[in-house]
Structure 1
Amino acid sequence: MDIIELFCIFFGAALVVYYGAKLLLFSRMFFPKLWFPLPKTFFASLGEWAVVTGGSEGIGRAYAFALAERGMNVVIMSRTKVRLDQVAKEIGDTTGQTVKVIVSDFTKENVFSEIEAQLKDLNIGVLVNNVGILPNVIPNNFLDSAELDQEITNVINCNVKTMAKMCKIILPGMVNRGKGVILNISSGVISITFPLYTLYAASKVFVELFSQGLQAEYKDKGIIIQTVAPFGVSTRLAAYQKTNIVTLSPQDFVKSSLQYLKAGDKTHGSVCHTVLGWLLQSVPLQVFYTESMLQRVQDVIKIKIAHKASMTESSATI
């Protein structure tokens, strides 16, 4: 047996071990309760309060409810006071926890000094950076947006700046206490480069890289910082698509995603979304970037939104 043959055998065995280990690690995602168990008192032990941006609807509202059900008081933040007050009452009536409301439009420039003042004396154990905007529900080319300058400002302020600023406000207290959790909500679209949602997808890539950097810096301080990157969740950003095996309700998604809190610095939050992310990364990008494929994506989403709108209109007239 010559040296080349020995090298080939060694290299082949190394590949088998490497991919076998990756497969084993991936298989853990199917059994989160077994591999990543959390004590029932875990969240309440982190601190008295949780803060959720974009907490008046969708995923943010579901996180606020879930954390209150786990024994935490909750601060919910968005720009619509009426909706915030309604959610606060629902959470308080259902869970018995205290809910604090902060009205803030995160697309604006100077909102954080007031937020910091209102959060100053709270023992905050969990921060959920959920707020975000999708500038164009119907996908389009970057230059086709009617108000592109304003869209750029809004996306950067809401999707990028807000997350960094909220971490700046809340992270020091976590460091001082030596415990805390920060969940930064990204999107499954960052699994690949995603044309037609270019601005939105790029902002969510920032969420992931920022979160991974912070986790590396503060993991030894006892703090968990995790990117949560869902695919389909039936929210306003997704035009309230009908739930199915891929498109989850906000409540089901949040319940599932919290089970992956100790699964690493990034999670897709559910088994089906984890598999979908793996499949997308396995498909050659050239398949997505053909003009015919991009046009088909636009057409399919337009049809779904139009159908949803017609159903809503029909229901309203009954």
Structure 2
Amino acid sequence: MGYPWQRKAAAPILFLWGSVAFCHRLFHFNFLEFIGCAFSVSVSFFFIYHVALFIYRNWVGVWLGHNADIKTHGPWAVITGCTSGIGRAYADSLAKRGLNLVLMSRSKEKLVELQSELREQFPSVQTKIIIVDFTKGPEIYGDIEKELQGLEIGMLVNNVGICYQFPEYFMDLPDRNQFCTDILNCNILSVTMMTSIVLPGMLERGKGVVINISSLSGIMDTPFMTLYAATKAFVDKFTQDLELEYREQGIIFQVLIPGYVVSNMSKVKTSNFFVPSAEDFVEKALSCLGLQSRTCAWLSHQILHACIRIGQFFRRDVAGEVMHIDIMISRKN
């Protein structure tokens, strides 16, 4: 159970004014010196607090075992978009931890292949496949709800999503109207409806985990991928507010905000410090579950996130100008 925000705010406020009053009494500051001291102490405290919190959430809390034990939330996990990339990595990681899996994707062949591989590697893990095309509309969710009835679902991973094939002006998108419908259904409606289906059972049991996959593109200027970035901004906001609504009822919400990860969507084939493999990214994300409700998980992505936040204090159109120049050059070539 969390403390009310007033109690959380009291400690740093008392520390700040206590430090300033002590310095004032010790050094006999005048008014301007007092203001300068107060500002310096507050900035220092802010910096130290966030560095300490960052270290705790990423390493110390994990080492101390303060992160979530996913097996205690329920025996079944539901993963959408699970046949490749981050979704596939979640299937492998959760099966390794002993969770039964509901695997959801539109390709029957890939689902059957994945199910066969998981059964071979983890014989004790039960698997269930649901063939579904998330670019379709609300009509698909009645059948999904029926398929999930009777399962004690402890975790939902909303991973499914589609992206642009290449950066493009909104009005120049190929088959624009159909693409708009498809991406909104897949990236927004799926997250909303799957959460709506699974969350009531979690609330009834007083425990559960919902993980939604957003993107760094959702928090920064991303012209020429406007609609994709907007859908990821929705996922980010949706998850943050659900976390505030249901944290006191035992439900863990986590939104992941990755940069590039090795996957079919990113079209990156080789991992490095800046672009992790899907497996490494998912292991890191699971390790901080319960410690970070909104995270980039991977260290280089967290650094990039911080740089983006700092950069947003300056000109907002810098990213747009850079991408505009880049796309114009590519068109000329």
Same fold (TM over 0.5): yes
Which residue number corresponds to residue 185 of structure 1?
213
Q: Work out which of the residue numbers 253, 261, 273 in structure 1 matches 2:289.
A: 261
C-alpha displacement of 1:194: 1.4
Q: Equivalent of 1:123, from 133, 145, 152?
A: 152
Partner of residue 153, structure 1 = 181
Of residues 274-283 and 139-148 in structure 1, the stretch that sits farther from structure 2 once superposed is 274-283
Unaligned residue ranges in structure 1 (runs of 5+) = 304-318
Query: 1:57 maps to what in 2?
Result: 84
What is the match of residue 226 of structure 2?
198
1:74-126 CA distance string (max 9 Å, x none): 00101110000100111111112111000000000111000000001100000
Q: CA deviation at 1:231?
A: 0.8
How many angstroms does 1:179 deviate by? 0.6
Pick one of 30, 37, 52 that aligns with 1:9: 37
Greater shift, 264-273 or 165-174, is seen at 264-273
Deviations 1:189-247 (A, max 9, x none): 22312111110010001001110111111111111011011111111111143211111
1:48 maps to 2:75: yes
Q: Distance in 1 between matches of 2:178 and 2:323?
A: 29
Rounded Cα–Cα distance in structure 2 between residues aligned with 1:36 and 1:282: 32
- Measure the CA separation in 1 of the matches of 2:174 and 2:166: 13
Alignment correspondent of 1:309: none
Which residue identity is paired with 1:287? V
**Counterparts of 1:143 and 1:83, CA distance in 2:** 34
- What is the correspondence of 1:66-81 to structure 2 with a 5 Å cutoff? 66-81=93-108
Whether 1:94 aligns to 2:125 is no
Q: Which of 277, 296, 304 is equivalent to 2:326?
A: 296
Partner of 1:85: 112
Distance in 2 (CA, whole Å) between partners of 1:286 and 1:27 is 32
Identify if the C-alpha distance between structure 1 residues 299 and 21 changes in structure 2 by more than 3 Å, giving closer, same or farther.
farther
Which segment is superposed worse, 191-200 or 176-185?
Answer: 191-200
Report the secondary structure of 2:211's partner residue. Answer: strand
**2:162, 2:183 within 8 Å by CA — same for their partners in 1?**
yes
Deviation at 1:127, TM superposition (A): 0.3
Distance 1:299 1:121 in 2: 56
Partner of 2:142: 113
Residue 247 (structure 1) aligns with: 275
Other structure's SS at 1:7 match = helix
- Structure 2: which 5+ residue stretches go unaligned? 1-28
Q: Give the aligned length.
A: 299
Q: Could you say which structure has the larger radius of gyration? A: 2
- Runs of 4+ more than 6 Å apart: 297-300
Distance in 1 of aligned mates of 2:45 and 2:70: 37
Q: Is the 8 A contact 1:229 1:267 kept in 2?
A: yes
Shift in CA distance, 297/22, structure 1 to aligned 2, threshold 3 Å: farther
1:299: Cα distance to partner? 6.4
1:108–1:154 CA contact under 8 A, matched in 2:
yes
Identity, % of aligned positions: 35
Query: Does the Cα contact within 8 Å between 1:233 and 1:248 map onto a contact in 2?
Result: yes
Distance (Å, rounded) in 1 between the aligned partners of 2:56 and 2:318:
30
TM-score for both structures, normalised by structure 2: 0.84
Pick aligned residue for 1:166 from 191, 194, 201: 194
Superposition RMSD on alpha carbons, in Å?
Answer: 2.1
